[in-house]
Amino acid sequence: MELKGLTIARVRGALESGETTAAALAGQVLAYAQQENRRNNAFLVFSPERAMAQAQRIDEMVKRRQPLPPLAGVPLAVKDVIVTRGLRTTCASRILANYVPPYDATAVRRLEEAGAVIVGKTNCDEFAMGSSSENSAYAPVRNPRDLERVPGGSSGGSAAAVAADMCVVALGSDTGGSIRQPASFCGVVGLMGTYGRVSRYGLVAFASSLDHIGPFGKTVRDAAALLEVMAGRDPSDSTSAAVPVPPYLAELDRPEARDLRGFRVGVPREYFAAGLDPEVGDRVHSSIERLRGLGADIRDIRLPHTDYAIACYYIICMAEASSNLARYDGVRYGVRSPRCRNLSLVECYRATRGEGFGPEVKRRIMLGTYVLSAGYYDAYYRKAQKVRALVARDFSEAFRDVDVIVTPVAPTPAFRLGEKTEDPLRMYLSDIYTITASLAGIPGISVPCGANGAGLPIGMQILARHFNEPAMLRAAQAFELSGAQ
């Protein structure tokens, strides 16, 4: 079966017609992914036994002519910060090198119950801390569009796996852009739902008030299919929202969903200022004109506190990282330094954390501990939370006048490996257009909107108000289909 461009609908059609079996497809995808992984390092571990067991269950359903679940036989990759029962989960860190979880994340369980076939765990920035997938303890991920460039981060392995046809869909996590930015760099669709739309149970915590689980796909429809399966209240996660889940796919199937007549699209001037690569700006502006051609009413809007978002975001996420990662001490969690047998308890902590964490994780723990310390909490953390409220208010006011907001995803296309590793501030600015939605807790999606002169993908970001994923998905699919015609 041809793997290039394979979608959920194509898999289902092939199973129902007898063109292939779930087991044959799983074996083909695993063989191809293992071969390609030598080039791009997108996967940290493969799961052939689990994949084949699930595929055989699907084939038995086909044989018995039972109704197939929505994701029957679909090869799925899972970012290595999302726990999987019996399958190693390292968070791309040495400190969890041998950790095998005893349970599945809720999102993983729901996807597998819907028929998805898990082929492996994908590489990422250590503990999801990074914008390039170069911070992995197990070597960086390479962008399949150009192996000398980064795939984005932190979910770079998942984005690269989908872009390279090493799976059909994938799971990532997004704290400040870690799904949307890699999707843009790799030329695929990446979706972050409203905070609380998808359960975080089983997602290894980085910044708990910002973390999301979300899908990657080759089409908007495939991303929506995964979201529909994963979304909904989970008793195991107190932050998951008790808000009904709309039938996203049925909404996209409505005839009126193919155009945007009557749709109000906001374009914030703050996102098209200095620092935006001219070719990125041109592609996004051209895409906005395509939306206008679909009937959308394009409106200029303002999000006045955007300039404060980077500082606000990094104070909050580092503070929460410092708190969440305190548990990795070599006693309760994680690998213990072999030197601990001759050390005091405090010295053992220091040795374990010094050997187990990489430079970026250490940087964030130290900065987070600083902003939470006595005498600095009010000056930094409390003030950042007040700014966060202002950023959220900007979006609430904007959505009184528009249905969705359109922006670039990242200020540049994928940059070269090693280009920003020595300058953390330049690296952090890669998130400048994605962190605002994370701070506000609203949904966002990255949709491919062309390429620059060097052929590097460029993404357009579409944002919507809380729990208005249907509007966001409608705009994204209408745009996607307009380019396919």
- Catalytic residue list: 79, 154, 178
CB 112 within 8 Å of CB 53: no
Sheet containing strand 457-464, edge to edge, reads: 43-46, 117-122, 75-79, 169-174, 212-217, 189-192, 444-451, 457-464, 404-408, 264-268, 297-301
CA–CA gap between residue 111 and residue 107 (Å, rounded) = 6
First CA to last CA across the chain, in angstroms?
Answer: 25
Q: Which two tokens stand for residue 105?
A: 């994340």
User: How many Cβ atoms sit within 10 Å of the Cβ of residue 10?
Assistant: 17
Question: What 3-state DSSP class applies to 274?
Answer: coil
* C-alpha pair distances (Å), 61 with each of 64, 68, 72, 113: 5, 7, 9, 13
- Chain CA centroid to CA 162, Å: 12
Two tokens at 427? 């690296």
Contact predicate 82/108, CB 8 Å: yes
Cβ contacts of residue 218 below 8 Å, gap of 6+?
A: 5, 6, 7, 162, 168, 169, 188, 189
What is the C-alpha to C-alpha distance for residues 315 and 191, in angstroms, rounded to an integer? 24
Distance between CA atoms of 122 and 474, rounded to whole angstroms? 29
